[in-house]
Structure 1
Amino acid sequence: MEWINALLAVPFIVGVAFFFLTHMKTASFSTALHVTGLGLMLICSLNVVAAVLENGRIETWNHWIYADSLSAVFVGLIGIVGTLAGVYSIGYMNTELKEGHIDYRSYVYYHAFLHLFFGSMLVAVTTNNVILMWVAIELTTLTSAFLVGIYGHRTSLEAAWKYIIICSVGVAFGLYGTILTFSNANAVLHDSSQAIFWSVINGQAANLNPHLMYLAFAFIVVGFGTKCGLFPMHTWLPDAHSEAPSPASAVLSAVLLNCAMLIVLRYFILTAKAVGFDYPQALLLVFGLLSTGVSSFFIIMQHDIKRKLAYHSIENMGLISFAFGLGGPIGMFAGLLHTITHSLAKALLFCASGNILLKYRSRDIYYVSGMWKVMPWTAVLFAGGALALGGVPPFGMFVSEFAIVVAGITAGKTWWVIFCLIFLTIALSGLTIMLLKTVLGKPTEGVEAGEGSRLSVAVIAVYLLLLFAIGIYIADPLSQLLQNSVGIILGQDNVSFGDMLLLPWQTLQ
C-alpha cells in the first residue's frame, strides 16, 4: 500500500516543487530534483508491479485506487519508459537552455509539467473511480499541452491549442459514455454509492442494460480513442508530437496513448460482459484497421522525421486496437505485447531524433544525410530502432506482430489480416526511405562530426537492448503479467494459449 501511495504522490510533489525554482538561475539544482523524482518514480513503480504479481491486486484509498495485472503493465511502462525519457531530457534540455532556444523559466516549467504529466498518467491507470479516469485523462492533456508549446513558436503554439481543443472535445464523448455506464450501474447495484467504482461495476456487468452499453461503448471508443490517436480523431497527434521537445514527444507517443487505450480496455471488459464480445471487438477491429491504413499512406508522404514517427504512432495504436478486435487469448496477448514493444521503439526513435535535431538543426530527411559518418552511434541506434518499429526480427515488435497474424488466422479473419499486412508493408517502405536518406548518403555540408552526450546515447541504447531482449525471450514476470491481464480482459481465471508457439524459443503455457 505504501508503495502505491508514494508512486501517486511523488510526481505531484516534485512537479509543484519546481514552481518554486523559477527565481534560481542555475540548472544544477533543477537537474538534481528532476533526477530524484525520476528515481523515486522508477523505484515505486517497480515495487507496485512486484506487489501486484505477489498479491494479484492492490486496492486502497477506500476503493478509489485499484491496481491489477492490467494496470501493472501500464504502471511499469510509465515507470521504465518515462524514467528513461526523463534521463534523456537532462542533456537535451540543458543543451536547449545553453543555446538559448528556451529561457530558464521555460526550462523549469518544462520539468514541472513533465512530472505533473507523469503523475496524471499514473492516476489514470490506477484509479478505480470511473469519473476520475476521465478527469485524469483530461489532466494529462492540460499538463502536457505546455510541453507541446514550450518553444513559443507559432507552429508549436498552434499545435498546443489544436491538441487542447480536439482532445477536450473528443474526450467529452468519453464523459458521455462514462455517465451512461455510471447511471446503468446505479440502477443495477443495491448500494448506489458503489456505482462509481469500476471493480464493483465489473462484478455486476452481466446485469447491465445492454442497450445502454451499446451506446456507452461507442462513446468511449470515440472519446478516449481521440486521445489514443485513432482515426478519424487523430488530427491533433502529428502536430503535437512533432512540435514538442523530443523527450516529451517520446513520453507522449510511448506512454500517454497507452493510458487512454487502458481506459478503452476497461470499458471493453464491461461491455463484453453485458452484450458479448462481438460488438466491442467489431468496433475496435474497424477503427484499428482504418487507423493503420490511413496512417500508412501519410507515413510515406512525410519528409519531417518527427511527423513521420507521429504517423507511425497512429499506425501502431491502430494495430493495437486491431489486435484487441481480433479477440481471443492470442489477440489480447498480442495487443498487450505490442503496446509494450511499440512504447520502447517509439521512445527510442523520438529520443534519437532529438540527437539528430541538436546536431543538424533540422528534421527534414532531405537535409539530414550521412549520419553514419557524422554521428555513427546514433546512426546505428536510429537504424536499429527503425527496423524494430518496422517489425524486423529479432526485435520485440516482430514477436507481437507475428502474434497478431496468428490471432487473425485463429479467429478466421484472414482477409482482415492480409489488408493489415499490406498497410504495414507500406509503412515499412516509409521507414526504409527515411533510413536511406538520413543514415546513408553524403554527409550534410557544414555539419561537424560528433555524438551528443554519452548519457543520451546510453539511454537510446537501453531502449534498443530492451527491444532486443523481448524479441529473444519474454521474462517470466512479464509473461505472468501478460497472461493475468489477458485473463482479466476475457473474464477467465485460467487462460490457455493452446499449443500456439510465438516463436520456436517462446512458448506460453
Structure 2
Amino acid sequence: MEWINALLAVPFIVGVAFFFLTHMKTASFSTALHVTGLGLMLICSLNVVAAVLENGRIETWNHWIYADSLSAVFVGLIGIVGTLAGVYSIGYMNTELKEGHIDYRSYVYYHAFLHLFFGSMLVAVTTNNVILMWVAIELTTLTSAFLVGIYGHRTSLEAAWKYIIICSVGVAFGLYGTILTFSNANAVLHDSSQAIFWSVINGQAANLNPHLMYLAFAFIVVGFGTKCGLFPMHTWLPDAHSEAPSPASAVLSAVLLNCAMLIVLRYFILTAKAVGFDYPQALLLVFGLLSTGVSSFFIIMQHDIKRKLAYHSIENMGLISFAFGLGGPIGMFAGLLHTITHSLAKALLFCASGNILLKYRSRDIYYVSGMWKVMPWTAVLFAGGALALGGVPPFGMFVSEFAIVVAGITAGKTWWVIFCLIFLTIALSGLTIMLLKTVLGKPTEGVEAGEGSRLSVTVIAVYLLLLFAIGIYIADPLSQLLQNSVGIILGQDNVSFGDMLLLPWQTLQ
C-alpha cells in the first residue's frame, strides 16, 4: 500500500515543485528535480506491479484506489515507457533551450506539466471510483494540452485548443455513460456510497439493467474512444502528436491512449456480464477495423514524419480495439500484448524523430535524407523501430499481430482478419516509403554529420531491445500478468492459451 501511495503522490509533488523554479536562470536544478521524479516514479511503479503479482490486487484509501493485474499492466507501461521518455527529454529540451526555441519559463513549465501528466494518468489507471476515472481522464487532457502548445507557435496553439475542445466534448459522452452505469448500480445496490466503486459494481454486474448498459457502453466507447483516437473521433490526434515536443509526443502516443483504453475495458467487463459478450465485442470490432482501415490510407499520404507516426497511433489503437472485439482468451491476450509492444515501438519512433528534428530542423520526408551517413546510430534504430511497428519478426509486434490473426481464425472471423491484414499491409507500405526516403538516399545538403547526445541514442536503443526481447521470449512475470488480466476481462479464474501462441523460436530453451 505504501508503494501505491507514493506512486500517486510523487508526480504531483514534483510537478508542483517545478513552479517554484521559474525564477532560476539555470537548468541544472530543473534537471535534478526531473531525474529524481522519474527515478521515484519508476521504482514505485515496479514495486506496485510486483505487489500485484504477489497479492493479486491492491485496495486502499477506503476502496478509492484499486490495482489489479489489469491496472498493473498500465502502471508498468507508464513507469517504464514514461521514465525512458522523460530521460530522453533531458537532452532534447536542453537543446531546445540552448538554441532558443523555448525560453526558460517554458522549459520549467514543460517539466511541471509532464510530471502532472504522469500523475493524472496514474490516477486514471488505479482509481476504483468511476467518477474519478472520468475526472482523471479529463485531467490528462488539461495537463497534456500545455505540452502540446509549449512552443507558442500558431500551429501548436491551434493543435492544443483543438485537442482540448474535441477531447472534452468527446469525454463528455463518457460522462453520460458513467452516470448511466452509476445510476444503474445504485438501483441494484441501494447505496450510492458503494455504487461509485468499479469493484463493487463488478460484483453485481450480472444484475444490472441490460437496456441501460447497452446505452451506457455506447456512450463509453464514443466518449473514451475519442481519447483513444478511434475513428471517427480521432481528428485531434494527428495535430496534437505532431506539434508537441517529441518526448511529449512519445508519452501521448505510447501511454495516454492506453489509459483511455483501460477505462473502455473496465466498462467492457461490466457490460459483458450484464448483456453478454456479443454486443461489446461487436462495437469494439467495428470501431477497431474502421480505425485501422481509414488511418492506413492517411498514413501513405503523409509527408510529415511525426504526423505519419500519429496516424500509426490511430491504426494501432484500432488494431488493439479489433483484438478485444475478436474476444476469447487469445483475442484479449493479443490486445493487451499489442498495447505493450505498440507503446514501446511508438515511443522509440517519436524519440528517434526528435533526433531527426534536432539535426535536420524538418519533419518532411522529402527533405530528410541520407540519415545512414548523417546520423548512423539513429538511422539504424529508426529503421529497426519502423520494422518493429510494421510487425516484422522477430520483434514483439509480430507476436501480438500473429496472436490477433490466431484469435480471428479461432473466433470464425476470417474475413474480418483478411481485411485487417490488407489495411496493415497498406500501413506497412507507408512505413517503407518513409524509410527509403529518410534513411537511404543522398544526405541533405547543409546538414552536418553527427549524432545527438549519447543519452538520447541509449534511450532509443533500450526501447528497441525491449521490443526484441518480447519478440523472442515473454518473461514469466509478464506472461502471468497478462494471463491474470485476461482472466479479469473474461471473468474466468483459470485462463490457458496452451501452445497456440508459441512461435517456432519461442519453443527453444
Instruction: Give a deviation string over 1:471-493, Cα, whole Å, max 9, x none.
Output: 00000000000000000000000
Instruction: Give a deviation string over 1:302-327, Cα, whole Å, max 9, x none.
Output: 00000000000000000000000000
Q: Distance in 2 between matches of 1:496 and 1:124?
A: 29
Moved more, 496-505 or 379-388: 496-505
Instruction: Give a deviation string over 1:248-289, Cα, whole Å, max 9, x none.
Output: 000000000000000000000000000000000000000000
- Cα 1:192–1:507 shift into 2, 3 Å: farther
What is the CA distance between 1:415 and its match in structure 2? 0.1
- Give the SS at the match of 1:502: coil
What is the CA distance between 1:61 and its match in structure 2? 0.3
Q: Distance in 2 between matches of 1:178 and 1:11?
A: 27
Q: Distance in 2 between matches of 1:233 and 1:126?
A: 25
Q: Distance in 1 between matches of 2:277 and 2:391?
A: 28
Moved more, 187-196 or 439-448: 187-196
What is the CA distance between 1:48 and its match in structure 2? 0.1
CA RMSD of aligned residues (A): 1.1
What is the CA distance between 1:506 and its match in structure 2? 3.7
Q: Distance in 1 between matches of 2:452 and 2:146?
A: 26
Number of residue equivalences: 509
Q: Distance in 2 between matches of 1:503 and 1:83?
A: 31
Instruction: Give a deviation string over 1:219-254, Cα, whole Å, max 9, x none.
Output: 000000000000000000000000000000000000
Q: Distance in 2 between matches of 1:238 and 1:172?
A: 21
Q: Distance in 1 between matches of 2:478 and 2:468?
A: 15
- Cα 1:47–1:508 shift into 2, 3 Å: farther
What is the CA distance between 1:190 and its match in structure 2? 3.8
What is the CA distance between 1:192 and its match in structure 2? 2.8
- Cα 1:127–1:508 shift into 2, 3 Å: farther
**Residue of structure 2 equivalent to 1:434:** 434
**Residue of structure 1 equivalent to 2:124:** 124
What is the CA distance between 1:507 and its match in structure 2? 6.8
What is the CA distance between 1:347 and its match in structure 2? 0.1
What is the CA distance between 1:437 and its match in structure 2? 0.1
- Give the SS at the match of 1:155: helix
Q: Distance in 1 between matches of 2:291 and 2:186?
A: 35
- TM-score normalized with structure 1 length: 0.99
Q: Distance in 1 between matches of 2:462 and 2:143?
A: 27
Q: Distance in 2 between matches of 1:384 and 1:369?
A: 17
- Cα 1:178–1:508 shift into 2, 3 Å: farther
**Residue of structure 1 equivalent to 2:333:** 333
Q: Distance in 2 between matches of 1:281 and 1:506?
A: 30
Is 1:168 aligned with 2:178?
no
Q: Distance in 1 between matches of 2:178 and 2:19?
A: 34
Identity percentage of aligned residues: 100
What is the CA distance between 1:508 and its match in structure 2? 14
- Give the SS at the match of 1:506: helix
Instruction: Give a deviation string over 1:42-83, Cα, whole Å, max 9, x none.
Output: 000000000000000000000000000000000000000000
Instruction: Give a deviation string over 1:90-138, Cα, whole Å, max 9, x none.
Output: 0000000000000000000000000000000000000000000000000
What is the CA distance between 1:505 and its match in structure 2? 4.1
User: Is the Cα contact below 8 Å between 1:303 and 1:364 reproduced in 2?
Assistant: yes
Spell out structure 1 runs of 4+ moving beyond 4 A: none
Q: Distance in 2 between matches of 1:493 and 1:243?
A: 44
Q: Distance in 2 between matches of 1:467 and 1:415?
A: 29
- Give the SS at the match of 1:474: coil
Moved more, 498-507 or 77-86: 498-507
- Give the SS at the match of 2:449: coil
- Give the SS at the match of 2:78: helix
**Residue of structure 2 equivalent to 1:307:** 307
- Give the SS at the match of 1:59: strand
Q: Structure 1 stretches of 5 or more lacking a match?
A: none
What is the CA distance between 1:497 and its match in structure 2? 1.5
What pairs up with 1:109-148 in 2 under 5 angstroms? 109-148=109-148
Q: Distance in 1 between matches of 2:186 and 2:30?
A: 47
User: Is the Cα contact below 8 Å between 1:402 and 1:502 reproduced in 2?
Assistant: no
User: Is the Cα contact below 8 Å between 1:8 and 1:123 reproduced in 2?
Assistant: yes
Q: Distance in 2 between matches of 1:54 and 1:356?
A: 42
- Give the SS at the match of 2:66: strand
Instruction: Give a deviation string over 1:366-395, Cα, whole Å, max 9, x none.
Output: 000000000000000000000000000000
What is the CA distance between 1:496 and its match in structure 2? 1.8
User: Is the Cα contact below 8 Å between 1:229 and 1:237 reproduced in 2?
Assistant: yes
Moved more, 406-415 or 490-499: 490-499
Moved more, 185-194 or 202-211: 185-194
User: Is the Cα contact below 8 Å between 1:330 and 1:407 reproduced in 2?
Assistant: yes
Q: Distance in 1 between matches of 2:149 and 2:299?
A: 24
Q: Distance in 2 between matches of 1:237 and 1:63?
A: 34
Q: Distance in 1 between matches of 2:425 and 2:501?
A: 24
- Give the SS at the match of 2:502: strand
What is the CA distance between 1:498 and its match in structure 2? 3.6
User: Is the Cα contact below 8 Å between 1:501 and 1:508 reproduced in 2?
Assistant: no
Is 1:178 aligned with 2:170?
no
User: Is the Cα contact below 8 Å between 1:500 and 1:508 reproduced in 2?
Assistant: no
Q: Distance in 1 between matches of 2:501 and 2:138?
A: 40
What pairs up with 1:373-452 in 2 under 5 angstroms? 373-452=373-452
What is the CA distance between 1:500 and its match in structure 2? 1.1
Q: Distance in 2 between matches of 1:240 and 1:166?
A: 11
Q: Distance in 2 between matches of 1:501 and 1:328?
A: 13
Instruction: Give a deviation string over 1:414-467, Cα, whole Å, max 9, x none.
Output: 000000000000000000000000000000000000000000000000000000
User: Is the Cα contact below 8 Å between 1:501 and 1:507 reproduced in 2?
Assistant: no
Moved more, 41-50 or 191-200: 191-200
